[in-house]
């Protein structure tokens, strides 16, 4: 860290300071199905889209723990904004894994570039001299409304057309179309629309081979940068929990702030705080939120420690990170459910932020990589020495 570079605590504090503005704009973002420009501009001005950009390009290059903390702090004000910060920054981290030429194409040409992405591979590809021509449709591209670059999954091929494996292909968003398809119950503001490509050429230096990446083999020549030695799938998984942690804290704070002035309907309690049952329910919910946080940070610290030492995480630990991701996500959602029940039926009034918190958490918490059942099965197989036939994304 240089003398002028903000410390992790300062970046987290910047995110927390934006909570009032983000909360004020969140209802409009929910209605418009895109984050308010004022919020996006404030996040950019605070440097929160650059937390995983290499320092070589004016970024902050923070560790994974700080990345999660920042997205959680943003989500306390607006869950959708927290999700965008989490997803855009993990795409920026993946840029840092690429060949230097690709990094120069993106952040060298524009230090303020923002990147969105979808990993699911399209088979509509053909190999040409110097690269891959990619076509396809990629739904759920969070941040696509505010990004200048994107990464999309594709199947690479040899000169004879045979598939050689999945890759991530990085291209300017201007070379694709963004189709308005994001009509959902929660996380509406993320604008996670569909990217559409028709015969987009992606040069070889902007392709990231997935199989090698899963094995922690990255093209970057800048091997001294610890952040870009972090384990691939563990990073992509655990960062999804950050916004859920922030939403759980937002639910807790709302319930605690309102409790002294709220009665419990159809009871003798004029103040929720007078009820022992209410006190216990709030405590249970808070402990569940804490459990989510502790599991998330255990994984973040394991990832960061290994990256600093230049070591690869073993398979069992990577499987445990998948389990931590599912467990933390589920605990955060269940905590929010309890807070909603404690707060009362008025949680679902349109004017009450609690209903948006609940909707956002229950949408984000269903991301495929956060699925607790799949993640526990992966970890259980690892513990028992049973072959994993569920997913290669470990």
pLDDT tens per residue, range 261-297: 999 999 999 999 999 999 999 999 999 999 999 999 9
Lowest model confidence (mean pLDDT) among 5-9, 263-267, 335-339, 389-393: 5-9
Three-class secondary structure assignment of 28-74: HHHHHCCCCHHHHHHHHHCCCCCCCCCHHHCCCCCCHHHHHHHHHHH
For the chain, which residues make up each domain, given as ranges?
Answer: 8-100, 114-214, 232-384
* CATH superfamily label, 114-214: Butyryl-CoA Dehydrogenase, subunit A, domain 2 (2.40.110.10)
One of 1.20.140.10, 3.30.70.580, 1.10.3720.10, 3.40.190.10 is the CATH number of 232-384, namely 1.20.140.10
Find the distance separating the first CA and the last CA of the chain, reported in whole Å: 31
Token reading at 5: 């570079």
Question: What's the predicted TM-score (pTM) here?
Answer: 0.96
Q: What would the two tokens of residue 40 be?
A: 């996006």
Pairing of strands 149-157, 115-122: parallel
Check if CATH label 3.30.420.10 holds for domain 8-100.
no
Confirm whether 8-100 and 232-384 share one CATH topology. no
What is the average pLDDT across 90-99?
98
- pLDDT score recorded for residue 5: 72
Cβ pair 307, 229 in contact under 8 A: yes
Q: How far is CA 122 from the centre of its chain?
A: 22
Distance CA 142, CA 172 (A): 15
pLDDT for 249 beyond 80: yes
Contacts of 349 (CB under 8 A, 6+ apart): 355
The token pair that represents 30 in the structure block? 């929910």
pLDDT in tens, 134-185: 999 999 999 999 999 999 999 999 999 999 999 999 999 999 999 999 999 9
Strand, helix or coil for residue 209: strand
């Amino acid at each position: 860290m240089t003398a002028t570079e903000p410390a992790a605590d300062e970046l987290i504090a910047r995110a927390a300071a934006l909570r009032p503005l983000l909360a004020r704009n969140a209802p409009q973002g929910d209605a418009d199905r895109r984050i308010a420009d004022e919020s996006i501009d404030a996040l950019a001005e605070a440097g929160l889209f650059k937390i995983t950009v290499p320092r070589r390009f004016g970024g902050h290059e923070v560790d994974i723990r700080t990345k999660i903390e920042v997205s959680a702090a943003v989500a306390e004000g607006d869950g959708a904004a927290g999700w965008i910060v989490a997803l855009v920054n993990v795409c920026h981290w993946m840029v840092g894994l690429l060949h230097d030429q690709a990094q120069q194409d993106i952040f060298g040409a524009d230090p303020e570039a923002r990147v969105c992405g979808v990993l699911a591979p399209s088979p509509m590809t053909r190999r040409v001299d110097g690269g891959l021509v990619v076509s396809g449709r990629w739904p759920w591209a969070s941040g696509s409304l505010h990004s200048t670059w994107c990464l999309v999954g594709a199947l690479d091929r040899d000169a004879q057309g045979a598939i050689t494996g999945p890759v991530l292909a990085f291209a300017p968003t201007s070379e694709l179309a963004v189709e308005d398809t994001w009509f959902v119950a929660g996380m509406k503001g993320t604008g996670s629309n569909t990217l559409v490509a028709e015969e987009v050429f992606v040069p070889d230096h902007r392709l990231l081979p997935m199989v090698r990446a899963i094995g922690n083999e990255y093209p970057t020549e800048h091997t001294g940068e610890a952040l870009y030695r972090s384990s691939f799938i563990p990073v992509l998984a655990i960062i999804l929990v950050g916004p859920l942690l922030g939403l759980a804290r937002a639910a807790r704070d709302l319930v605690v702030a309102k409790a002294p002035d709220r009665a419990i309907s159809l009871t003798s309690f004029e103040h929720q705080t007078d009820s022992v049952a209410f006190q216990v329910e709030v405590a249970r919910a808070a402990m569940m939120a804490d459990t989510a946080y502790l599991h998330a940070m255990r994984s973040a610290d394991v990832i960061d420690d290994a990256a600093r030492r230049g070591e690869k995480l073993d398979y069992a630990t990577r499987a445990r990170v998948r389990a931590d991701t599912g467990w933390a996500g589920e605990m955060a959602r269940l905590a929010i459910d309890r807070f909603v029940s404690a707060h009362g039926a008025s949680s679902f009034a349109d004017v009450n932020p609690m209903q948006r918190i609940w909707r956002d958490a229950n949408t984000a918490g269903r991301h495929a990589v956060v699925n607790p059942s799949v993640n526990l099965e992966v970890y259980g197989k690892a513990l028992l020495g049973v072959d994993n036939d569920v997913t290669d994304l470990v």
